[in-house]
Amino acid sequence: VVETVALTDRLVVRTWADEDAAALVVIGSDPEVVRYLGGVPWSPADARSMIERYREIGDSLGVTSWALEDRRRGSLVGHCGFARTNAPCFRPEIVEIGWTLDRRRWGEGLATEAAKAVMPRALQLFEPWRIVSKCQVENIASERVMQRLGLRRAGTIRRAADNNVVYRLP
Ligand SMILES: CC(C)(COP(=O)(O)OP(=O)(O)OC[C@H]1O[C@@H](n2cnc3c(N)ncnc32)[C@H](O)[C@@H]1OP(=O)(O)O)[C@@H](O)C(=O)NCCC(=O)NCCS
């Protein structure tokens, strides 16, 4: 069953439905959207396994990256939320907040609105120092969301050609 996690002015933040896979494929078909997410468009199988992974993370971590639905139109606009970080230098159990929006919905403030709505869920489970956000240094749009959220730049992680900037709560 689909559960509402948070309501904002423009968004329903909710758990995933199997039917979201089709909209994820459309979102992940835009090269700009996947540019810093591996660069490969999302197949229907990718979309289904993303949904499965988000459900597993929610079950095991207590927070996950949730579906963002446009309240007025009822359409899936992207996702936002938490995962265990993939950076091996953070142990134990640092969680990372992230976001992805349909290319057609960039520039409306929806990622910032969603992130503000989900942050309290992680703060119920994790001390503030355990919450980070990071992105490739070239991913200015994502870094700007971090800044709009009031996060502070904490440093960079350099691994071969993959340089990431890290932000944390002040
Ligand atoms: C990262 C990403 C979600 C950011 O999307 P975005 O639309 O730039 O971010 P927001 O939704 O917060 O929108 C902010 C913009 O909307 C504008 N805006 C309009 N109304 C706003 C409001 N009420 N509140 C805040 N911003 C608002 C802002 O002026 C801002 O524009 P600016 O960047 O020119 O200042 C998007 O670029 C994306 O999906 N990227 C691909 C996936 C990805 O790389 N994810 C991160 C991996 S680490």
Tens of each residue's pLDDT in the chain, 170 residues = 999 999 999 999 999 999 999 999 999 999 999 999 999 999 999 999 999 999 999 999 999 999 999 999 999 999 999 999 877 777 667 899 999 999 999 999 999 999 999 999 999 999 999 999 999 999 999 999 999 999 999 999 998 888 999 999 99
Query: For 51-86, what is each residue's pLDDT tens digit?
Result: 999 999 999 999 999 999 999 999 999 999 999 987
State which ligand 1 atom lies nearest to the alpha carbon of 136: 48
- Angle between helix axes 44-61 and 20-27 (nearest 10 degrees) is 110
Q: What is the pTM of this model?
A: 0.95
Phi/psi-derived region of residue 34, left when phi > 0, alpha when psi is between -120 and 50, beta in every other case: alpha
What is the rounded distance in angstroms from the CA atom of residue 132 to the CA atom of residue 135?
10
Count Cα atoms within 13 angstroms, Cβ side, for 153.
11
CA 32 to centroid of ligand 1, rounded, Å: 13
Query: Is the CB of residue 78 less than 8 Å from the CB of residue 101?
Result: yes
The bridge status of strand 131-136 relative to strand 95-101 is parallel
Q: Compute, in angstroms, the gap from residue 109 CA to the centroid of ligand 1.
A: 5
Give the residue, out of 65, 77, 100, 146, with the most ligand 1 atoms within 8 A of its beta carbon, to mutate for a pocket test: 100
